[in-house]
Structures are given as C-alpha cells and as structure tokens.
Amino acid sequence: MKVSKAQSAENRAGIVEAAARLYRERGLAGVGVADITRDAGLTHGGLYRHFESKDALAREACLRAFDWTITPLDQLRDGDLDPDDVLHALVHGYLSSGHRDHPGEGCPAAALAVDAARAGPEMSEVFAQGVERNIQRFARATTPASREPDAAVRADTIHVLASMVGALVLARATAAGNPALSEEILATLRARLAPEMKPARQAVPKPKPKQASRSTLKSQSRR
C-alpha cells in the first residue's frame, strides 16, 4: 500500500523521536534498529526507507535531542522574569532527581557525551552544534532582554553548563550504589552554581542616562 507524503513524514519523525529517546536511555551502542522501529510502531525495513544508515539516523536523532529543555529558554528571556530567577529555575530543574532518573527525556549532553566522542568526527560535529546552541540559548535566557550576552557571560555560561552536566553524570552513576551521595552531588551543585553567574551578568554595563544639553541646563537655571 502506497504511503502518502504526510504519513511518510510522520513515520520519519516518529523514528527520529524514538531514536532520540532510546539513545539517551541506553547509549548509542545499546540500541538496535529493531528497538527503534518497534518503539516507533514501524517495521524493521521502514527505517532504511528514510535513512541511508543507522549512523545517519543517530546523527539526526542526536541533533533532535538537543531541542530538549527543562525550561523553555527562548520564552523566558522574552518574559518579565528576573535573570536570577531564570537561572535558579534552570539550575534547579536540571539538577533534579526527576531529570537524573529519566535520561530518555533529558539532556543529551549528559546522556551521550562519551558516546559522541567515540563515534567519530561526524557525530562529534553534530554534538558540537547542539552544545553551542544550548550555550547561546542559556546565555540569552539569563541576560536581561535589553542587553546582549558578552564574553564574560558566555564564559560563565560554559562553566555552569559544564558543571551541571558533570554533576548529573556523577549523580546518575552513583544513584543505584549510593543514593545519598547522588542526592548530595545534586544538592551541592544546585546551591553553588546559580550565584556564580551573577558577577558576569552584573558586569554588563548599564546604559548611561542621557545628559541634558547646555541650552536646556541654562534655561532651567533661569527659572
């Protein structure tokens, strides 16, 4: 039976979504083609009608996984929230037990970094694109809308993001063997990370108030 273009596009999207979730849950090497197609509700051969290889699917699924976010970063900057409140929400959402316990729905950086490093330059390039995109989104979300993130904000953003990813990896690795340690790692980083970006954000110069012209000052002095 011939499949319509709309159905074909839907099937393809379903495969990518399934792969993005399963790869984060089990790693790139822990997921087979049959696992992905079964999760997407398709036949084994259906995958290769949409992708030239499993590696091609893995790259697209990895990039799709970077659309994930605990908090809608792009929307937060357009709202009325204080940047410190935004940063608090991001850090606490990322370093939560819920995020730790559900990697398939979470951050691909923490779930797939080691796999991406071992998968070759093409996957590394895709992973780098995703990381760069999240750095930019995070920096913009935690900077007042009236300003643009500068080099200091970017540096602190990289520091905070890398620290969060490392903490989440350690928390997941220790959760089964030492739950108390796992919780301690999350709690410690939650308490320490958010304040570390304040100096860089506060260092962004505020616009100077406009000075009155000499003629205006003279007219005011005559009153």
Looking at the structure, tell me whether residues 47 and 77 fall in a common domain.
Answer: no
Please give the structure tokens belonging to residue 89: 């929400």
User: Is residue 64 within 8 Å of 16, Cβ to Cβ?
Assistant: yes
pTM of the model: 0.80
Tens-place pLDDT, residues 133-187? 999 988 888 887 778 889 998 999 999 999 999 999 999 999 999 999 999 999 9
What is the spatial distance between Cα 63 and Cα 130, in angstroms, rounded to a whole number?
A: 6
Q: What is the pLDDT of residue 146?
A: 75
Minimum mean pLDDT range among 9-13, 156-160, 165-169, 213-217: 213-217
Q: What is the pLDDT of residue 90?
A: 86
Q: What is the pLDDT of residue 143?
A: 83
Please give the structure tokens belonging to residue 124: 């590394």
Looking at the structure, tell me whether residues 57 and 142 fall in a common domain.
Answer: no
Looking at the structure, tell me whether residues 111 and 191 fall in a common domain.
Answer: yes
pLDDT at 12 over 70: yes
Length of the chain: 223
Q: Which phi-psi region, left, alpha or beta, contains residue 191 (left: φ > 0; alpha: ψ -120 to 50)?
A: alpha
Q: What is the pLDDT of residue 50?
A: 85
* CATH code of the domain covering residue 9: 1.10.10.60
In a domain, 87, yes or no: yes
Which of these, 175, 180, 171, 131, lies nearest to 154 by C-alpha position?
131
Cα angle for residues 27, 65, 89 (degrees, 5° grid) = 110
pLDDT at 118 over 90: yes
pLDDT at 208 over 70: no
In a domain, 13, yes or no: yes
Phi/psi at 5 (5° precision): -60, -40
User: What contacts 120, CB < 8 A, 6 or more positions away?
Assistant: none
Looking at the structure, tell me whether residues 122 and 179 fall in a common domain.
Answer: yes
pLDDT at 199 over 90: no
Looking at the structure, tell me whether residues 44 and 108 fall in a common domain.
Answer: no
Residue by residue, what is the 3-state secondary structure of 5-73? HHHHHHHHHHHHHHHHHHHHHHCHHHCCHHHHHHHHCCCHHHHHHCCCCHHHHHHHHHHHHCCCCCCCH
Number of domains composing the chain: 2
Which helix (H) or strand (E) covers residue 186, if one does? helix 179-196
Tens-place pLDDT, residues 57-97? 999 999 999 988 765 555 555 556 677 777 888 899 899 99
Looking at the structure, tell me whether residues 46 and 95 fall in a common domain.
Answer: no
Percent of the chain with pLDDT over 90: 53
Q: What is the pLDDT of residue 60?
A: 94
Percent of the chain with pLDDT over 70: 79
Minimum mean pLDDT range among 23-27, 67-71, 114-118, 126-130: 67-71
Q: What is the pLDDT of residue 27?
A: 96
In a domain, 66, yes or no: no
What is the spatial distance between Cα 171 and Cα 169, in angstroms, rounded to a whole number?
A: 5
* CATH code of the domain covering residue 103: 1.10.357.10
DSSP symbol at 79: S
Question: The tokens 């913009």 sit on which residue?
Answer: 140
- Domain containing 159 equals 73-202
pLDDT at 111 over 80: yes
Looking at the structure, tell me whether residues 45 and 79 fall in a common domain.
Answer: no
DSSP symbol at 132: H
